[in-house]
A and B are shown apart, each in its own frame.
Chain A
Amino acid sequence: MPVSTFTGLQTSLRGLIAQQEALDTTSHNIANASTKGYSRQEVLLSASRALSIVTGSTEGGSQNAQLGTGVDVNGFARARDKFLDLQYRTQAMRLGGLATRVQGMETIEGALAEPSETGISQELQTYWSAWEGLANNPEDPASRQAVVEAGKALATSLGELNGQLTEAAEVAEAQFQAIAGEGGEVEQMAKEIALLNGSIRSATTSGSEPNDLLDRRDLLLDELSEMGQVSVTENADGTIEVGFGDAATPLVEGTEVNWPQEVVEPKGKLGALLELTRAGGTIESFRTELNAFAETLANSVNAIHTEAGGPAFFTFVAGEGAATLAVAVDAEEVQTAKDGSVGGNDIATAIGALRGGAADRAYASFVTRVGTEMVEARNGETNAQALLNTVEERRESVSGVSLDEEMTNLTSFQRGYEASARAMSALDEALNVLINRTGRVGL
């Protein structure tokens, strides 16, 4: 059975179209080489359906054969590994949490200003020295004043540090609201995911592959997982259901967004912020320790100061020692001797001897604890960053655009296009001979 005269032209045309689309895809890849979240795309080519023809007539009768008809473009595939995405999101969640914790802790550590010449430890030393100075000069009104002033400076610094802890908690709370609150980042991302779900569904049902939309949605999921734990369930229509943290209902269901919701342990950035601010959390436990220090200080000084019936040196509200510590005496009321004599110094000496005692130790251990937790958080962050880098590297190896590779492809598709065009010209010339010259013998 003969085939159409123009079959070859059609075959070449298919080649031209396929090569052109491959060139277009390559251009698309190159254009998006630096686009965040972009996955490189490949043209899926396959040989188009062959023509069945009956070849010549031999002694054994006619035979069937398949005549190739060129190439078809089946689609555009996105180079992506779902399992790497899962790993990436787990690590992004860890890193998000630890990085936020490091930030919060840095504020607290900075507020301590230790070790330095201006921190509370130095003021504590000045305070003890003032008492010992008074023990050497109990008759001197200036020495009494010095004790009162040193006590006030110490109380003020403690109050300030406590205030900075409160502020750090408030900042973390505000950050939490900005992310998880109404109209916050989580809701914004969820809304965009829901929108994308809609577009992806219509594309999928009409049979096309919305690669760029999928990339965008995956990128949003990556970013969302920095905020908290994300779990994704894929549906047949291309949409996804997104669970967030330990929220009761999914954050995104198809094109629906359910937010704000209450989360207790969302992990990620939100989890770290909650851990900083929650009752019994990091900041509160620091504050408890600071209060304990303030109260130890006040009680140990007061115990000696009131021994001979004198007034308490410090006052404070129990449980809020750091915030409420205040000097309750003026210079004349400062006690130096149990017998009330002007030159006696047993009280001043005993208070001076508190240096290096329970209060000093309580403060030093508080500072050490802040430092240790900071180191732990920072080590965790470094570690999570390294793991994230590894996953990112592997993911990039699968999905990233390699310009060398694209240049190679560009060259081969270009040549392919040229060759198809050449094949078409060859056919054209052959047809020219057939149509314009055949049968014109002797004219």
Chain B
Amino acid sequence: MTMRVTQGMTSRSILQDLDNSRSRLGTIQREISSTKRISKPSDDPFGTGRTLQLSSELEGYKQFKSNVDDGTGWVTATEASLSHITETLQRARELLVQGGNDSNGQVAREGIAAEIEALTEAVKQEANVTYDGRFIFAGTETETRPYELGANDEYAGNEGSIKRVIGTGVELPINVNIKELLGEGNAAGDNKLLDVMRDIVTDLRGGTEENAENLRGTDLSRLSDNLDELTRVRAVVGATTNRLTTAGTRLEQLEEASLAQLSAVRDTDMPQAIVEFSTQQTAYETALRSAAQIIQPSLMDFLS
């Protein structure tokens, strides 16, 4: 027996097909207008999980980049400051050589001593430099001035290390332990910069033959040693700058890659979506047209 097909069946199936068609059309339209393929978890559960993960990665990269920027500022300030200290020391060394020369009388040496004292103050001034309102050479006591100007050479900061995270699990120390370089003067007798500078001034003012010997001998070599140490520290700072620059570039690339992945997972493939939209639209219109033709006629139209 052939299947009876009633008007009810026809209209129900037409309605269902139209509903389906319209809902598919609605889905694609939403994908196009929101530009997102995933607007709720059930659109693609695993894609949603991946989206959350990639967004978190992206946020992380953004933050790392801001850490790198902040660290770069800090290191640049450090480098500038150390460069000034180097220049000051070179000047001090010239003066020392001059002062050690026998032809200079005591009066001239007094003058040189005064200048070196001023240079010592300049070095301490450089050690007190700030970046963004913080003392960069005070360890982690960034709100404490590392050195008092004047005779007191005591270091007021600590030797804590300040680090910036420049990648997942990658920490980079960005501060220099200035106490290792400058020391705490004669009181500590630690052979560091301030100790040597103070000794030089003492020897310049002393006037004895022994003082003159010191000026030409130990003072000069101790100052040179400190200059070498300074150069070494500056090389480390330079390397830090390089690492920050490299990290910045790498983060840029990682961010781009993550963004591309995120877009591939989450965003609508526009050309494809638009083609599908037109296909569905055609299908919907065709369904409407055929429905209009199927529903209308019945036997009543043809019986007289």
Interface positions of A (Cβ within 8 A of B):
33-34, 105, 109-110, 112, 114-115, 121-122, 124-125, 128-129, 132-133, 135-139, 337, 339, 341-346, 349, 352-353, 355-356, 360, 363-365, 367-372, 374-375, 378, 389, 392-393, 396-398, 400-405, 407-408, 411
Please encode chain B, from 158 to 195, with 1 for each CB lying within 8 Å of some chain A CB and 0 for all others.
10101111001101000000000000000000000000
* In contact, A407 and B9 (Cβ under 8 angstroms): no
* In contact, A402 and B4 (Cβ under 8 angstroms): yes
Nearest to B42 among chain A residues (CB) is A374
Contact of B298 among A132, A339, A360, A403 (CB under 8 A): A403
Contact of A352 among B7, B45, B142, B165 (CB under 8 A): B165
Nearest to B43 among chain A residues (CB) is A371
In whole angstroms, how far apart are the Cα atoms of A409 and B12 in the complex? 24
* In contact, B67 and A401 (Cβ under 8 angstroms): no
* In contact, B55 and A115 (Cβ under 8 angstroms): yes
A343/B160 contact (C-beta < 8 A), A353-B165, A397-B9, A400-B6 known: yes
Contact of A139 among B43, B46, B143, B165 (CB under 8 A): B143
In whole angstroms, how far apart are the Cα atoms of A342 and B139 in the complex? 10
Q: Which residues of A contact B41 (CB under 8 A)?
A: 109, 112, 114-115, 367-368, 370-371, 374
* In contact, B300 and A365 (Cβ under 8 angstroms): no
Contact of A349 among B55, B140, B165 (CB under 8 A): B165
CB interface residues, B 22-58, toward A, < 8 Å: 38, 40-46, 48-49, 51-53, 55-57
* In contact, B63 and A365 (Cβ under 8 angstroms): no
29 contacts between A and B (CB under 8 A): A114-B40, A115-B38, A115-B52, A115-B55, A121-B55, A135-B164, A136-B164, A137-B132, A339-B160, A341-B160, A342-B144, A343-B134, A343-B140, A343-B162, A345-B140, A346-B163, A352-B165, A353-B165, A356-B57, A360-B56, A364-B52, A367-B52, A371-B43, A374-B40, A374-B45, A393-B9, A396-B6, A404-B299, A407-B298
Contact of A401 among B6, B70, B168 (CB under 8 A): B6
Interface size on B, residues (CB 8 A): 57
* In contact, A344 and B162 (Cβ under 8 angstroms): yes
A355/B59 contact (C-beta < 8 A), A34-B8, A136-B67, A341-B141 known: yes
* In contact, B165 and A128 (Cβ under 8 angstroms): no
Nearest to A122 among chain B residues (CB) is B55
Q: Which residues of A contact B139 (CB under 8 A)?
A: 341, 343
Residue B66 CB within 8 A of the other chain: yes
Q: Which residues of B contact A363 (CB under 8 A)?
A: 52
* In contact, B63 and A352 (Cβ under 8 angstroms): yes
* In contact, B49 and A365 (Cβ under 8 angstroms): yes
* Closest Cβ–Cβ distance, residue A111 to chain B (whole Å): 11
* Closest Cβ–Cβ distance, residue A340 to chain B (whole Å): 9
In whole angstroms, how far apart are the Cα atoms of A252 and B234 in the complex? 94
Please encode chain B, from 129 to 157, with 1 for each CB lying within 8 Å of some chain A CB and 0 for all others.
00011100011111110000000000000
Residue B261 CB within 8 A of the other chain: no
* In contact, B165 and A341 (Cβ under 8 angstroms): no
Contact of B40 among A110, A392, A405 (CB under 8 A): A110
* In contact, A368 and B6 (Cβ under 8 angstroms): no
* Closest Cβ–Cβ distance, residue B147 to chain A (whole Å): 17
* In contact, B40 and A125 (Cβ under 8 angstroms): no
Contact of B56 among A356, A365, A398 (CB under 8 A): A356
In whole angstroms, how far apart are the Cα atoms of A374 and B45 in the complex? 9
Residue B303 CB within 8 A of the other chain: yes
Contact of A400 among B9, B134, B163, B298 (CB under 8 A): B9
Q: Which residues of B contact A109 (CB under 8 A)?
A: 40-42
Residue B16 CB within 8 A of the other chain: yes
* In contact, B140 and A396 (Cβ under 8 angstroms): no
Given A352-B165, A389-B16, A396-B6; 16 other pairs, CB 8 A cutoff: A112-B40, A112-B41, A121-B56, A136-B164, A138-B142, A344-B162, A349-B171, A367-B48, A367-B52, A371-B40, A372-B46, A397-B5, A400-B6, A400-B7, A400-B9, A403-B299
* In contact, B163 and A125 (Cβ under 8 angstroms): no
* Closest Cβ–Cβ distance, residue B143 to chain A (whole Å): 5
Q: Which residues of B contact A355 (CB under 8 A)?
A: 56, 59-60, 63
Q: Which residues of B contact A115 (CB under 8 A)?
A: 38, 41, 48, 51-52, 55, 266
In whole angstroms, how far apart are the Cα atoms of A396 and B9 in the complex? 7
Residue B13 CB within 8 A of the other chain: yes
* Closest Cβ–Cβ distance, residue A132 to chain B (whole Å): 4
* In contact, B63 and A129 (Cβ under 8 angstroms): yes
Residue B3 CB within 8 A of the other chain: yes
In whole angstroms, how far apart are the Cα atoms of A33 and B140 in the complex? 88
In whole angstroms, how far apart are the Cα atoms of A137 and B142 in the complex? 10
A397/B165 contact (C-beta < 8 A), A132-B67, A136-B70, A407-B298 known: no
Q: Which residues of B contact A135 (CB under 8 A)?
A: 67, 164-165
* Closest Cβ–Cβ distance, residue A139 to chain B (whole Å): 6
Q: Which residues of B contact A121 (CB under 8 A)?
A: 52, 55-56
* In contact, A397 and B52 (Cβ under 8 angstroms): no
Q: Which residues of A contact B66 (CB under 8 A)?
A: 132-133, 136
Q: Which residues of A contact B9 (CB under 8 A)?
A: 393, 396-397, 400
Contact of A341 among B44, B59, B158, B300 (CB under 8 A): B158
In whole angstroms, how far apart are the Cα atoms of A33 and B8 in the complex? 8
In whole angstroms, how far apart are the Cα atoms of A401 and B62 in the complex? 68
* In contact, A367 and B49 (Cβ under 8 angstroms): yes
* Closest Cβ–Cβ distance, residue A368 to chain B (whole Å): 4
* Closest Cβ–Cβ distance, residue A376 to chain B (whole Å): 9
* In contact, A339 and B140 (Cβ under 8 angstroms): yes
CB interface residues, B 285-299, toward A, < 8 Å: 298-299
